[in-house]
Amino acid sequence: MAGGTFLTQNKIRPGAYINFKGVAKPTSNIGTRGVMTMPVPMSWGGEITELLSTDLIDGKSLAKIGYTAFDEESQIFREALKNAYKAIIYRLDTGGTKATASLAPLTATAKYPGIIGNEIAVSVVENETAGAFDVITIFRGVERDRQTVTTIDELNDNDWVVFSGTGNVLANAGVTLTGGTNGTISEATYANYLNVIKSYNWNVMAIPQDVPSQNQNFINFIKNQRDNLGKKVQAVLYNADADYEGIISVSQGYKTVNETVSPTTFVAYVAGLTAGANVNESNTYKVIPGAVSIVYPDGVTPYGNEEIIEALKNGKFVLSTRQDGAVVVEQDINTLHTFTPEKGYEFSKNRVIRTLDEINNSISLLFERSYIGKVNNNDDGRNVFKSDVINYLNTLQNIAAIQNFDASTDIQIYAGEAIDSVVVDLAVQPVDSMEKLYMTVMVG
């Protein structure tokens, strides 16, 4: 079968011709979105890897995760980065072994544990300069690094191997590293992920595994981030019932002509989709590009109208098929489905949550960067702060993230009870997208 990329639709041979495009980093006065995080088992890479969508295309991902966009094994990374510009990846497996090779007196050890290290080779060949040698690192048959040295001490570690030993390097036709193994996953690994990732900045977390015993820990973590620490983030889980605006629940996947995206892998897609969505954008009826059918939880039974309605009532993020056959997101919602006067229906809509979270995160950052310890807590200082907040809210209104904001009545800033405290009373009305049409047609 033929394959590769395409510039125009002029191919002759049957095959899969696939182009990948990186998602550009957002640039605006509004808080930057587009960063997702997920824990996944890997065959190459460190504990934390920051992977850009462009890395999968330009080959930089090879040294980071061992794959590019065109490798079958990179599916979960492709799905995560189809709509996000960056993924902060935690290596979920631990205890793996690094591959090694001896080119006595030189030893080459893979930079990371994992079976991908077994695809690295190192050779030493004489250089034109008398007494010097070229130490060449090869991965999958392609030269990745070449250093001209005389002694081992002159060698620098590269993206693939760490060099050790003493004395002069000696010619060697080439040795492939061996002994690299992947690690294992335990429940403690997930706890460590949550501990590590809390120090990074991201918008949406994905847990692309079926781990029901861990779901409550993930839910509690997100609740603590949102409610106690003021870090407004969300998480996408597989088949979770959280009844909380910070959690999105997914239990479907999809098929393209060439591959199947399982429901757990689709979790990564939804996290990237949610992270990459702007505050003035809804993912309701967003088309899943290339999808030709839906993968259901039991692998067989499709959702009918009643099943979709029931799923939406229970706060499930559902795929459906549009009239023209396109696979779409039925409704951009989170798991909140028990409504109260404090949290009504609008809090179940992810576009609304993105807007409210944006207001929280951006005003908090503005206050931390420009006001804490720097501006007097008097009428003049508070008026300056009020002016900055109004300018920011007008920006949101200009892009239709909020509406009907009146700076003369909807925001009040005054001194708090303590000498160093400021109180803000703010009313905002987020904008949602059109979703339901009720039309009456009179005939005659």
Quote the pLDDT of residue 3: 46
- Return d(Cα 121, Cα 423) in angstroms, integer: 63
| pLDDT tops 90 at residue 12 | no
The beta-carbon contacts of 70-78 under 8 Å, at least 24 apart in sequence, are 70/18, 70/20, 72/259, 73/43, 75/259, 75/261, 75/265, 76/38, 76/40, 76/208, 76/265, 76/268, 77/51, 78/20
Q: What is the pLDDT of residues 157-173, one digit of tens each?
A: 999 999 999 999 999 99
Q: Is 433 exposed, middle or buried (0-12, 13-18, 19+ CB in 10 A)?
A: middle
Q: What would the mean pLDDT of 12-29 be, rounded to a whole number?
A: 55
- Does the reported pTM lie above 0.85? yes
Tens digits of residue pLDDT in 294-325: 999 877 778 889 999 999 999 999 999 999 99
User: How far from chain centre, in Å, is Cα 238?
Assistant: 16
Average pLDDT over residues 260-269: 97
Tens digits of residue pLDDT in 322-355: 999 999 999 999 999 999 999 999 999 999 999 9
Among all chains, which residue has been given the structure tokens 């590293």? 177
Q: Which domains does the chain have, with CATH numbers?
A: 31-92+185-329 (3.30.1490.450), 100-176 (2.60.40.4290)
Mean pLDDT estimate for the chain? 92
User: How far separated are the first and last CA of the chain, in Å rounded?
Assistant: 60
Chain segment 385-442, per-residue pLDDT in tens = 999 999 999 999 999 999 999 999 999 999 999 999 999 999 999 999 988 788 888 8
